[in-house]
Amino acid sequence: RLFVAANFVMACCWRVQRLPREGETLLSSSFAAEPGGKGLNVAIGARRLGAEVDALLGIGRDAAGDRLLALLAEEGMAPDHAYRLADSSGHGCGLIDAHGRNSIAVCLGPNLLLEPRHADAAAEEIARADAVYGQFETSLGALQRVFEIAARHGRLTVLNPSPYQPIPAELLALTRVLLANEVEAAELLDWQLPQGASLSDCAASLDAAAQAFWPRWPQGQLLLLTLGALGAVALRRDRPPLAVPGFAVAVQDSMGAGDAFAAGLLTQLLSGQDLAASLRVANACGALMCMRAGVLQGLPRAADLQAFLLR
Ligand code: ADP
């Protein structure tokens, strides 16, 4: 059972031949909108892989908010902690050009209006969960309270510091597992992906960079780094790094790969799999996401994952 301090944005995407210049209006060849947001993706991803999932969400009193509630029902998730806190839901606006380059603006709106009292109202679900997962597209106050309640009950706390901002000391002290991609790892560990490096080179250089980080994070148990097609590296205090290679697949669009990875990792760890096996499944979930366009429809279900792993 998982509790996610989630976020919801209606992700709107316009395809254009090229990105418009300042002051310019272009016609777009297609428009699509789908529910998204890192926390929501992880919640739905874990649910599709068989976990029981509760999510804390700040949404709008609008059609996007209605769509989110319908989606939760479709996925078999309770809407009990989705609060309508503003007229408009969070929205993302993305323009994608013919080469796949993009310009994106996001308004988080009611995601930032969640308060510690909303987390308090979910205290029972948080205490009941084996793990909680949070990220930075939600209100820091609510996130902190979710982690406080989880820590009080000895639950595993997993933080994805994305979009990156320095992790407040009191939140870091409540976090047991950190999950970061290459960009976040660079900030967190003052690390740079060595040019043309292999996965084992990366593992060694991440391990070296993390030596300065562990003393700042005495409560930390596990630092997980995702490295795109290369795969993932797990670092534990005073243990050699564990590097698990990614799957070679034909990539359609890698958007959401990190969220699919997180969903796979959490469901495996919670079902008692060891770290190496969990990372392999998480890599498979990331790879499956890359093989499909779109994020929501790319989040694999248990049957897709089984078929992929047996191929
Ligand atoms: P994010 O989506 O947060 O930027 P990554 O790009 O590191 O995160 O991807 C997360 C995980 O998804 C990787 O660790 C890997 O398992 C998988 N993945 C990402 N890109 C690819 C790819 N091109 N081929 C295969 N797997 C991939």
85-114: pLDDT as tens digits: 999 999 999 999 998 888 989 999 999 999
Token pair listed for 263:
């969903």
- Using the mean position of ligand 1's atoms as its centre, give its distance from the Cα of residue 285 in Å: 9
- Domains of the chain: which residue ranges? 2-7+37-62+78-87+111-175+246-310
246-295: pLDDT as tens digits: 999 999 989 999 999 999 999 999 999 999 999 999 999 999 999 998 89
Burial track 15-35 (b if 16+ CB lie within 10 A, e otherwise): ebeeeeeeeeeeeeeeeebeb
Residue ranges around ligand 1 (CB below 6 Å): 181-182, 226-229, 231-232, 246-247, 249, 251, 254, 257-258, 261, 283, 286-287, 290
Of the pLDDT bands very low, low, confident and very high (cuts 50, 70, 90), residue 216 is very high
For the chain, the maximum distance between any two Cα atoms, rounded to a whole number of angstroms, is 56
Residue 200: is its pLDDT beyond 90? Answer: yes
Nearest to 192, CA basis, from 222, 218, 225, 168: 225
Residue nearest to atom 8 of ligand 1 (CA): 258
Strands 156-160 and 131-135, bridge-based pairing: parallel
Sign of CA dihedral 266, 115, 68, 30: negative
- Using the mean position of ligand 1's atoms as its centre, give its distance from the Cα of residue 12 in Å: 23
- Using the mean position of ligand 1's atoms as its centre, give its distance from the Cα of residue 227 in Å: 6
Percent of the chain with pLDDT over 90: 94
- In sequence order, the β-bridge partners of residue 11 are 34, 92
Query: What is the CATH superfamily name and number for domain 2-7+37-62+78-87+111-175+246-310?
Result: Ribokinase (3.40.1190.20)
